[in-house]
Every structure is written in C-alpha cells, then in structure tokens.
Amino acid sequence: MTFKVAELSDIDKVLELHYKYQVDSIAEEDKKDGFVTTPFTKEQLTELITKEQGLFIALEGEKVLAYVMAASWRFWSIWPMFEHMIKDLKNLTYLNQTLNVENSYQYGPICIDKSVRGSGVLEKIFDFSRERMSKRFPILVTFVNKINPRSYEAHKRKLGLEVIQEFEYNNNHYYELVYDTSKRSL
Ligand SMILES: CC(C)(COP(=O)(O)OP(=O)(O)OC[C@H]1O[C@@H](n2cnc3c(N)ncnc32)[C@H](O)[C@@H]1OP(=O)(O)O)[C@@H](O)C(=O)NCCC(=O)NCCS
C-alpha cells in the first residue's frame, strides 16, 4: 500500500470510496461501523487539493482504500457546523495556547474501506497526514459523533487524541478532540 497527497486525477476514486460510506448511500449493514456525513462534491475536493493540499490517500494499485481530509478552518467555514466550532475555539486551551484559526486546523473526515479496517491503515494514514499538516499547524482539532463508537475508539484509545470538550449541535452530540501535531502516533 502506498500513501500520498492526492492529486486532481485521484478525486473520482476518492468519491467512490466516500459514497460507499456516506450516510445517504451506505449499505445498512455497514452503518454500525460508522459513516461519513458531508456529501462532498468534485468541486470541493478540487479546492481541498489545490488550495490546501489537504487530501491524503492510501492506494492499493489503482484503488483508493482510505482517505483523510485536513484543512485550515478557512476552508471548512462554509459549513455551519464548522462556523460554530470556529466561534468556540477561543474558549479552548491546549499546549498552553488558546486555540485559534492560525494555530489549529480541522482534521477529518477519515474513511477506510472495510476490507482493510483494523489492519494498521488507520495509524499509517493518520501519521502521514499529521506529519504534513504539522508544517503548517501545531494543533489538530476534530470531532466525533457519539453515535460512532468505532471512530471514538480509533481516535481516543488507538491514536491517542485527547477529548477537550463535548458539545451539541443540531441535536447531535459530539466529542471534540485535539492532538499535538509534533507527536508521532505510530
Ligand atoms: C472510523 C475508522 C476510520 C476507524 O478505522 P479502523 O481501521 O476501523 O479502526 P481500527 O479497527 O484500527 O480501530 C477501531 C477499534 O474500535 C473497536 N470497535 C469497533 N467497533 C466498536 C464499537 N461498536 N464499540 C467500541 N469499539 C469498537 C475495534 O475493535 C478496534 O479496536 P481494537 O483494534 O482494539 O480491536 C473506520 O472504521 C471507518 O472508516 N469507518 C467508516 C467512516 C467513519 O466512520 N469515519 C469516521 C467519521 S469522520
């Protein structure tokens, strides 16, 4: 398996993986292992790549088996949920710093094909993206929906992210987590 920063020519394969596990199109039996919510478009992923170099993928041959998205808060701010999180950054402190849009970025979603879950791809792709984003930001911020226990276990227990607070938005309950990007997770 190889890991790389995605190029524009990878977008169609990323969207194929994405819609296999997106809430509106995921198979019913796969829902218990988590799903991704946002219905990303080709245009949004184009911007993620060209403006942020923020799409990271794992390839087996031609097939994309995992992706991580990560970008500045500016990129995410078109979605109201992120606008809400941005407004709240000033109330959070980590690594002796008050969080803001300069010292932190938003990691996620992450999606791994079920054929390779539990095989270490999680740790490898997380570290691959962490290392690259660490050149721009000291602090990773993310959130996990409380109805996604697999993702919570993966991020809290296996990768070592820390819960900084819990919050509610649109009747959903979330953990907000942080990570020091200078720290290798492997
Ligand atoms: C979330 C995701 C990235 C995690 O990657 P993964 O390869 O499945 O993670 P792992 O299997 O290494 O780790 C998950 C851990 O949670 C455990 N787990 C699985 N289901 C669980 C559940 N319902 N409750 C508690 N723990 C659970 C697993 O056993 C594993 O622990 P172990 O390795 O000690 O056995 C992946 O499952 C995925 O892409 N899911 C669909 C999309 C998604 O939910 N993305 C996250 C939201 S943005």
Angle at 121 between CA 127 and CA 156, to 5 degrees: 65
Residue 64, strand partner residues: 59
Main-chain dihedrals φ then ψ at residue 29, nearest 5 degrees: -70, -15
Name which residue sits closest to atom 27 of ligand 1, judged by CA: 150
Ligand 1-lining residues (CB < 6 angstroms): 21, 33-36, 108-112, 117-118, 121-122, 148-151, 153-154, 158
- Decide if pLDDT at 58 tops 90: yes
Question: Each residue of 20-52: pLDDT tens digit?
Answer: 999 999 999 999 999 999 999 999 999 999 999
Structural domains present in the chain: 2-180 (3.40.630.30)
**C-alpha closest to that of 134 among 67, 37, 56, 61:** 56
By most ligand atoms within 8 Å of CB, the mutation choice from 150, 152, 161 for ligand 1 is: 150
Can you tell me which atom of ligand 1 is nearest the CA of 113? 39
Banded pLDDT at 185 (limits 50, 70, 90): confident
Section 133-142 average pLDDT: 98
Angle at 125 between CA 32 and CA 179, to 5 degrees: 85
Can you tell me which atom of ligand 1 is nearest the CA of 151? 1
Question: Each residue of 143-184: pLDDT tens digit?
Answer: 999 999 999 999 999 999 999 999 999 999 999 999 999 999
Say what the pLDDT of residue 145 is. Answer: 96
